[in-house]
Amino acid sequence: MISQLEREVTFRFLRTRKNDGFLNIISIFSFIGISLGVAVLIIVMSVMNGFRTELISKIVGFNAHAVVQTANKPLEYIQDLNLTKNIVSNDGEAVILNKNITKGVFLKGYLESDFINLQIVKNKEFFGSQNLNDNNISIGKELSFKLNVDVGDTITVMSPAGIQTLVGTLPKQENFKIVSIFDSGLSDYNENIAYINLQTLESFFNKNKEDRFLELYFKDPKNIEIHKKNLTALFPDGLVYTWSDMNKSLFSALKVERNVMFIILSLIIIVAAFNIISGLTILVKNKTRDIGILKSIGVSNKSIKKIFFLVGFFIGTSATIFGVAVGTLFSIYVENIRQFISNLFGISLFPEDIYILNSMPSEINISSIIIISLCSIFATILVSIYPASKVSSLDTVKTLKYE
């Protein structure tokens, strides 16, 4: 319990005085350092959480949640309560030719009835017709810019599958009409993937029905490891891979980067917290006479320790609360702030071609804020213990000897 005397003396020591100039500077820097460390840590964690969530959302919305492939065996549709749909597909790599522009792409083939049910087709960023029959093709927004084409234009696609002629084997080429342009939200996918009809693709790449994949879409794609285990048991001789497997290196890198950033930015809080030791040490020196008077009127060493501990604790806690408020507010409006700075200085703070996403995401995680706050307050408690305990070693007679 904190007595009335301890509380009043603590707030008296926290008040600034003219002769406490250097002490005030240290206290201010301690407060700013802890607040800045907490705020930056919350902002970085929020942005990285948002980045991961947005990536999962884009990847899961664009790709099949799981893909099953068997060796030279026709696949059958499966019934599962966790499934929203399962469809067949095939793919292959090709080269698109348009005038003087050449671009390698990854072609994905679907039946027309399956194509119209894909998430990429249903979103508002899909422009054009959903009719994917014959030699129709659907390309991404970035690819359309790179090839300088639009809906209705015709492009030439070259397949690695060859055709026999009198002069030898030549690559197969066909003309495709662009019927739609999609935007997955991931520039890398928009630039390198295109859709064509499944039968057209199999003819174009000399493939047959036994080469097809079974794409599965689950109600809860985040628990993909459980689904993968079930599919592996269902298809013991088949190859099963998920959206997590296809992007494993990316999410592993994000996890490592997130942990490293947490450790590095936590050092800001620790360094700032250590300034409290300096502040409390100077406070002890400045308040030696006051400490002697308190001891002479019967205030116990325990109460003196508690008073100086509360001074350091109050600085650290108030700085943490202020840092949480600033960090949370900044995290909420981080995209607006990014756009303002970009427009003001004419620079790109979040280039889409590097970071894949077209806006800076942010997701405030309450548990992360609680952990950051507790770590900051715990650091404050640790650094406040030593100078507070040293106060009890002061001799009452010596402190008042020359007063």
Q: How confident is the model at residue 29 (pLDDT cuts 50, 70, 90)?
A: confident
- When the pLDDT of each residue in the chain is averaged and rounded to a whole number, the result is 80
H/E segment holding residue 95: strand 83-98
8 A C-beta contact, residue 151 and residue 103: no
On whether both 308 and 368 belong to a single domain, the answer is yes
Structure confidence at residue 24 (pLDDT): 66
110, β-bridge pairs: 197
Structure confidence at residue 328 (pLDDT): 93
For residues 369 and 10, the model is more confident at 369
Structure confidence at residue 1 (pLDDT): 67
On whether both 37 and 102 belong to a single domain, the answer is no
On whether both 90 and 48 belong to a single domain, the answer is no
CA distance 125 to 129: 13
Structure confidence at residue 390 (pLDDT): 72
> Mean pLDDT, to the nearest integer, of 358-367?
82
CA distance 219 to 293: 71
* Alpha carbon distances (Å) from 127 to 34, 106, 292: 50, 20, 81
Is 339 among the domain residues?
yes
On whether both 266 and 148 belong to a single domain, the answer is no
What's the number of domains the chain is made of? 2
User: pLDDT tens across 140-194, in order?
Assistant: 999 999 998 999 999 999 988 766 666 666 778 899 999 999 988 777 888 999 9
Is 68 among the domain residues?
no
CA distance 275 to 283: 12
Question: 312 is written with which tokens?
Answer: 């350091």
CA distance 166 to 327: 71
Residue 288 has pLDDT above 80, yes or no: no
Is 137 among the domain residues?
yes
Between the two ends of the chain, the Cα-to-Cα distance in Å is 32
On whether both 191 and 296 belong to a single domain, the answer is no
Question: 26 is written with which tokens?
Answer: 């240290």
Phi and psi of 149, rounded to 5°?
Answer: -130, 165
Question: 159 is written with which tokens?
Answer: 């397949």
> How many residues make up the chain in this entry?
403
On whether both 381 and 274 belong to a single domain, the answer is yes
Structure confidence at residue 402 (pLDDT): 47
Q: How confident is the model at residue 23 (pLDDT cuts 50, 70, 90)?
A: low
Is 15 among the domain residues?
yes
8 A C-beta contact, residue 87 and residue 68: no
Q: Which range (21-30, 194-203, 294-303) has the least confidence?
A: 21-30
On whether both 262 and 167 belong to a single domain, the answer is no
On whether both 178 and 144 belong to a single domain, the answer is yes
Structure confidence at residue 195 (pLDDT): 95
User: pLDDT tens across 60-78, in order?
Assistant: 777 888 888 877 666 666 6
Q: Measured in whole angstroms, how far is the alpha carbon of residue 306 from the centre of its chain?
A: 42
User: pLDDT tens across 194-229, in order?
Assistant: 999 999 998 888 888 888 888 888 887 877 888 888
> Mean pLDDT, to the nearest integer, of 232-248?
82
On whether both 274 and 386 belong to a single domain, the answer is yes
Number of CB atoms found within 10 A of residue 75's CB:
18
8 A C-beta contact, residue 88 and residue 202: no
* CA neighbours closer than 13 Å in the CB half-sphere of residue 107: 27
The DSSP bridge pattern shows strands 127-128 and 168-182 to be antiparallel
User: pLDDT tens across 79-138, in order?
Assistant: 665 777 888 889 999 999 888 888 999 999 999 888 988 888 888 888 999 898 888 999
Is 311 among the domain residues?
yes
Find, among 37, 78, 53, 10, the residue nearest to 271 by Cα. Answer: 37
CA distance 70 to 174: 29
Number of CB atoms found within 10 A of residue 154's CB:
12
CA distance 144 to 181: 8
Is 343 among the domain residues?
yes
Only one residue has tokens 């000399």, namely 206
8 A C-beta contact, residue 225 and residue 244: yes
Structure confidence at residue 256 (pLDDT): 81
8 A C-beta contact, residue 340 and residue 330: no
Q: Which range (128-142, 224-238, 298-312, 315-329) has the least confidence?
A: 298-312
For residues 350 and 19, the model is more confident at 350
H/E segment holding residue 233: helix 224-234
| pTM, 2 dp | 0.69
DSSP assigned state of 222:
G
Is 350 among the domain residues?
yes
On whether both 276 and 379 belong to a single domain, the answer is yes
Structure confidence at residue 273 (pLDDT): 76
User: pLDDT tens across 254-287, in order?
Assistant: 778 778 888 887 887 777 777 777 777 776 666 6
CA distance 70 to 235: 8
Question: 261 is written with which tokens?
Answer: 């950033």
Domain boundary among 211, 228, 259: 211
Apex CA 144: angle with CA 139 and CA 145, to 5°?
155
On whether both 44 and 146 belong to a single domain, the answer is no
CA distance 179 to 132: 8
On whether both 280 and 139 belong to a single domain, the answer is no
- Burial environment of residue 169 by CB neighbours within 10 A (0 to 12, 13 to 18, 19 or more): exposed
Is 65 among the domain residues?
no
Domain ranges, residue 191? 76-211
